[in-house]
Structure 1
Amino acid sequence: MARMSWSEACHLDRSLLSLDHFFSMPPDYAQTLTGGLTNRCWKVVATDGKAYVWRPTTPITKAFSISRFQEYQILSAIGTSHLSPAAVYINDQGLLVDWIEGSSLTNDLSFDALLKTMIKIHDLDTQRVPVAPFNYTARVDHYWMLLPEESKVEPYLSLYNRWRVAPNLADVGLTLCHFDLAGYNMVKTEQGNKVIDWEYAALADPRLDLTLSIDVMDEKPLDAVYQYCKLRGVEGVDDWVEGVMAWKPRATMMAMLWYLLAHKLWGDDEYLTQAEQLRQTFCS
């Protein structure tokens, strides 16, 4: 993280100037935060020592269908759960949230611990979350629409067409889903594990959320589903197994399009390599 004066930070990112009305005095300093793929965020430390994270709205966030206002709505609704940072301030330039002090769980998180946190999220009262349900087809269509024409070719075209429609599954209800739950988005604190980076969060089929984390953690799907259902006390495990297996190729295709779009936006060939690796998983 690069630490710099507030004026230097504002010169680099003009969206920080929109916080002038929030702070009675200019913050002490700001630091760039690394690790996020979508977001280029800032740690902002006020003169009283209190720290925040500034999550700007940018052309990149818009390209990935990220709404800072929806993120604010979700964080505000679940604030009493103590699972997430508190949403502090929102404007058309971005979202300010509390900084969570602790140690990253990037390399120190068991799948059991991840599932216990995921279940806490899935058990939150969705009546308090005033956002529209996630639309899988609309999301992948949006990614596809923004891709350059040279990416809309075989075999990407066939994979997109085959898997662009959500599966027809037994209804297990909608829950709040994080959609990027892994150690890199979790912080170990004195009050327990907390979750950061809620920009992709939505009301959705929890089996998709589970599928995404199974893939990130490289777990065996069947074992992972049984473990989740046992921890959550879910009956009808077959509906969950069927759901995860049906979502798996769709989640992979969605991630593939995400990396193709990231390659277009940033020009980093590593994103193209990731997209190609995901494409190859369909061959196996």
Structure 2
Amino acid sequence: MARMSWHEACQLDGSLASLDRFFASPPEYSQTLTGGLTNRCWKIVERSGRAYVWRPTTPITQAFSISRAQEYQILTSINDCGFSPKPVHLNGQGLLVEWLEGQSLTDNLSAELLIEALVNVHSLPTARLPVPPFNFTARVDHYWMQLEPELKSEGYQAIYEKWRNPPSLPPVELSLCHFDLAGYNMVGTEQGAKIIDWEYATIGDPRLDLTLSIDVAEVDEMAAIQHYCQLRQLEHPEAWVEGVRAWRPRATMMAMLWYLLAYQLWGDEYYLQQAELLKPGLY
């Protein structure tokens, strides 16, 4: 992380200047945060030692349908859950949240802890969440329509058209979904594991959220689903296995389009390589 004065940081990222009225005096320093793919965030530390994370609104976040206002609404609604950062300030340039002191669980997150975190999220009440339900087809269509013609090869188009509709499954109760829950978005603190980066969170099918986390973490599918159903006291875990497997190619296609759009936006060959790696299993 690059550490610099507040003045230098504001020169590098103009959105930070929108916080001048929030801080009674200029913060002691700022640091760029690494690790986020969608967002390029900042750690801001006041002279008192209190620290925050600045999550700006940028053309990148808009391209991926990320709303800082929605993120703020969700974090505000679940403020008492004990495992998410507290929202501090929202303006037209971005969202300021508290900094959670601890160690990233990127490399040492157990499957059990991951599933327990998912269950905690999915168990939160949604009646007062002022957000629309996730629309899978609308999201992948949004990704696809932004791609330049040279990225819309026949192969990619065939995969997108094959999997652009959600699976036909028995309905389950919608829940709050994080949609990017893995070790890199969890922090081990003195108070336990905390979940960060709620920018993709919304109300949706928990089976899709479960699919995404199982695949990213590369944990054993059957064991993870059985543990999940046990914790939520859900009958018929075989139906949840069927749901996860039905969502999997669609979730993979969505990730493929995400990587293609990321390649278009940043020009990094890594993203194109990741998109190519996902293709073979989707024909």
Deviations 1:95-145 (A, max 9, x none): 000000011101011011110011011000111311100000000000000
Q: CA–CA distance in 2 between the matches of 1:228 and 1:106?
A: 21
Q: CA–CA distance in 2 between the matches of 1:202 and 1:75?
A: 11
Deviations 1:6-56 (A, max 9, x none): 000000000000001100101111000000000000000012110000000
Which residue of 2 is the match for residue 21 of structure 1?
21
Which residue of 2 is the match for residue 199 of structure 1?
199
What pairs up with 1:110-129 in 2 under 5 angstroms? 110-129=110-129
What code does the residue aligned with 1:162 have? K
Which residue of 1 is the match for residue 55 of structure 2?
55
Offset of residue 226 of structure 1: 1.7
Which residue of 1 is the match for residue 219 of structure 2?
219
What code does the residue aligned with 2:222 have? L
Offset of residue 240 of structure 1: 1.1
What code does the residue aligned with 2:104 have? S
Alignment pair present for 1:241 and 2:241 = yes
Which residue of 2 is the match for residue 171 of structure 1?
171
Which residue of 2 is the match for residue 130 of structure 1?
130
Q: Secondary structure at the match of 1:106?
A: coil
Offset of residue 221 of structure 1: 2.5
Q: CA–CA distance in 2 between the matches of 1:144 and 1:123?
A: 32
Offset of residue 192 of structure 1: 0.7
Deviations 1:31-87 (A, max 9, x none): 000000000000000121100000000000000000000000000000100110000
- After the TM superposition, which segments of 4 or more aligned residues of structure 1 sit over 4 Å from their partners? none
Which residue of 2 is the match for residue 276 of structure 1?
276
When the two structures are aligned, how many residues end up with a matched partner? 283
Which residue of 2 is the match for residue 71 of structure 1?
71
Q: CA–CA distance in 1 between the matches of 2:28 and 2:178?
A: 32
Q: CA–CA distance in 2 between the matches of 1:271 and 1:27?
A: 35
Contact 2:222–2:241 at 8 Å: present in 1 too?
A: yes
Provide the aligned C-alpha RMSD in A.
0.9
Which residue of 1 is the match for residue 81 of structure 2?
81
Percent identity reads: 64
Residue ranges of structure 1 left out of the alignment (5+ in a row): none
Q: Secondary structure at the match of 1:215?
A: helix
Alignment pair present for 1:90 and 2:70 = no
